[in-house]
Amino acid sequence: MVSAAPPSESTVLHVGGLHYAGEKAVVEHALGARPGVIDVDANPVAQTATVTFDPAQTSVEDLRRWVQECGYHCAGQSVPGHVCDPMAERTAPHRAHDRAAVERAADAHGHGHGGHAGMSMDSMVRDMRDRFLVAVVFTIPIVLWSTVGTNLLGTELPTPFGIDRDVWQFLLSLPIVFYSSTIFFTGAVNALRNRTLDMMVLVAVAIGTAWVYSVAVTFFVDGEVFYESAGMLASFVLLGHWFEMRARGGANDAVRTLLDLAPPKAVIVREGEPVEVPTAEVAVGDLLLVRPGSKVPVDATVEEGESHVDESTVTGESLPVRKAPGDQLIGATINQNGTLRARASAVGSDTALAQVVKLVQEAQNSKAPGQRLADRAAFWLVLVALVGGTLTFVVWYLVVGRDLQESLLFAITVVVITCPDALGLATPTAIMVGTSLGAKRGILFKNAIALEQAAALDTVVFDKTGTLTRGEPEVVDVATADGIDEDEVLRLVAGAEGDSEHPLARAIVEAARSRGLQPPRTDAFEAVPGHGLLATVDGRRVLVGNARLLEAHGISRDGLAARSEEMAGAGRTSVEVAVGDRAAAVIAIADAPRETSAEAIRALREQGVRAVMLSGDSQATARRIAARLGIDEVIAEVLPADKAAKIRELQSAPSARRVAMVGDGVNDAPALAQADVGIAIGAGTDVAVETADVVLMRSDPLDVATAITISRGTRRKMHQNLAWAVGYNSLALPIAAGVLEPVGFVLRPEVGAISMAGSSIIVALNAVSLRRLRLPGRDGAGPHDT
């Protein structure tokens, strides 16, 4: 018997101080070895880590402490009782909610930490800049008083107070080594203490070797110093990563934007009076007062009032949504034109906004299959650099017979130029930008695997009801007898149906209202079970129902019977109407397509993706909708339990198709799980959303094509970055080792540092350029990629 897997939970921790991509291996290795930790995915771009753990063996507080023991920092550690989850700090209902704490949490997640807890990405960039400026300010005079400077100037500059030249360079190097370069040495210690290798080890070895050798020459042995190499190496590495941080700093805009949406204050009604309180103090069951122009503080259910609410900030839906008693409000959306009283239904980390933030965080921290391979390659690349540097020194010094300094410079150049930072940044930065781009459009990729797999889709199966269609009936046609006015019929029927809750009745009433018709008063009303209704409207008898109702009252259907049968044959529901003793009209009602469904199918066709409609409706009904939308392939009359089997049939076709399923209901969940990529309409059920790999928050079918466009663009950037990183290191290592020295081409360590930093900057900029991707639909110019 196979034992059940232990229950697990996941949390997103902030890990401050991940200066370079390679450092994520330290966090993953250290946390992964702790008891109760099942999986760790660290993201150096977001400065976060998603940790899956067994709550019976460990806790979030333990994880926070272990992060600090690794040598890094955790958000919120300066606030008693806080854990390392910035969303918790932002929304937890039992904690004080002051603006400073909010900003601290937003900065902590959205922009990372630097050399100390509480340092945002902006501060981290400034810290890197300051370290660079100190390094370059002291490196310039070191170069001027070095042998390199003497050769450039053609003269030897006198030193202040007649200090020995080597000693003077040693004094100038102290700020570089003990301030500017401390992040390298600290990072190397953290890595070695946690039994792993990363870029920090390489840079620390290179700078440390150059400086220690120069100190030994200055005070103990004969030789030539190269403090200028250590200084220039530190300066160029810091400069490159200062620019790199600025390039990748915008990759996580989506999460910071989401965190900033929640209002700091809420108005609740206590003993009949409005009282303003911090949003964090709102509890489930509190009655909220939401005035026009203000934000909804938490998720709630409307009890009084009507208004339109702008939900674009959370769902991406561009049009305001009408709200009335019984409707749900999403926290952080904006009330527009009416005052609402609503009962709080979810607060803190249970709100829709908090769940969206968590989904985005976890997606950004997850690893695509290519990234896991790159992570392993990065570790071995560090080892190759260290071994290669050692062998380079041995060959040049012992085999070729070059002097100690020249051999050491070759070795240091190999160590520096082979840094795997570009390899470590190749896919995380692209994933960050891709998921952020999707989040801004209301498209939530749950993990990097889904983001990557969506790029390979060649077939998209749409559930009809609630996905391609609204899932609500509406009047699509009205056929009247000779001499009967269409608007007058709708007005009378709307008056008769005004108090009915039947979906067909509501569709007719809504059709009348959309035409600006005012339903008259009903004087008498009689429901006829199984047939329809009989009412007196404006003094006239009105019958509304099926053919049997009219026949039972002796009303001839001549002239309208054929139209009624035609509508039914097209998969529409026909409602027959008689006014007085005469058949007056047939009203056709159907589940209408969403506004963007046809555009979505066209966009998929342009992408080379085949669209299939799956429905439990009759062939006639399903094919009518499909023809209207431009779908050629229809699978109709499918029982809910058979939907997953239909997906399997498509996947096992001779062409080996990669299939996505788009659905919204409980009965879609098995099919969503079976598909290569499950896509849930955001307005659907919780089961469908939980099962899916991608969630479309604004329930727009066109976002399926947008998700594929984003996925393909992201995958392309990942492949470009990986190809560049691998190609760069394959060429750089032998050149740095001196294979071109016989033809007079030699790289110095500082040139190697420029090359390494430039490679990382190119990778980061290439990933960030994904933000210029042209997307289908309202927010893009078309389904074209950059």
Q: Residues with catalytic annotation?
A: 463
Instruction: Return the amino acid letter for 111.
Output: H
Who contacts 36 (Cβ-Cβ below 8 Å, separation ≥6)? 53, 54, 55, 56, 57, 58, 62
Instruction: Return the amino acid letter for 727.
Output: G
Who contacts 627 (Cβ-Cβ below 8 Å, separation ≥6)? none
Cα 74 to Cα 67: distance, rounded to the nearest angstrom = 7
Residues 23, 27, 30: CA angle, nearest 5 degrees: 130
Cα 327 to Cα 305: distance, rounded to the nearest angstrom = 11
Tokens of 161: 């107070």
Question: In the sheet where 340-346 sits, what is the strand order?
Answer: 273-278, 265-270, 287-290, 340-346, 299-304, 328-329
Cα 214 to Cα 597: distance, rounded to the nearest angstrom = 70
* DSSP state at residue 395: I
Residue 361: HSE in the Cβ half-sphere, 13 Å Cα cutoff: 32
Question: In the sheet where 307-310 sits, what is the strand order?
Answer: 321-323, 307-310, 334-335
Closest CA to 532 of 492, 568, 504, 566: 504
> Residue 403 CB: number of other CB atoms within 10 A?
11
Instruction: Return the amino acid letter for 760.
Output: S
272: left (phi over 0), alpha (psi -120 to 50) or beta: left
> Residue 730 CB: number of other CB atoms within 10 A?
9
Map tokens 């919780």 to a residue.
686
H or E segment at 177? Answer: none
| Cβ–Cβ < 8 Å for 338, 296 | no
Tokens of 426: 């190749």
**DSSP secondary structure, 320-355, as one string:** -EEE-TT-EE-TT-EE-SS-EEEEEEE-GGGSHHHH
11: three-class secondary structure by DSSP: strand
Tokens of 516: 């600006």
| Cβ–Cβ < 8 Å for 384, 415 | no
**DSSP secondary structure, 645-684, as one string:** HHHHHHHTSTT---EEEEE-SGGGHHHHHHSSEEEEETTS
Cα 88 to Cα 348: distance, rounded to the nearest angstrom = 7
Residues 533, 535, 537: CA angle, nearest 5 degrees: 145
Residues 451, 457, 462: CA angle, nearest 5 degrees: 100
How far is the CA of 444 from the CAs of 90, 435, 490, in angstroms?
21, 7, 42
Who contacts 206 (Cβ-Cβ below 8 Å, separation ≥6)? 233, 412, 415, 416, 749
Is residue 453 exposed (0-12), middle (13-18) or buried (19+ Cβ within 10 Å)?
buried
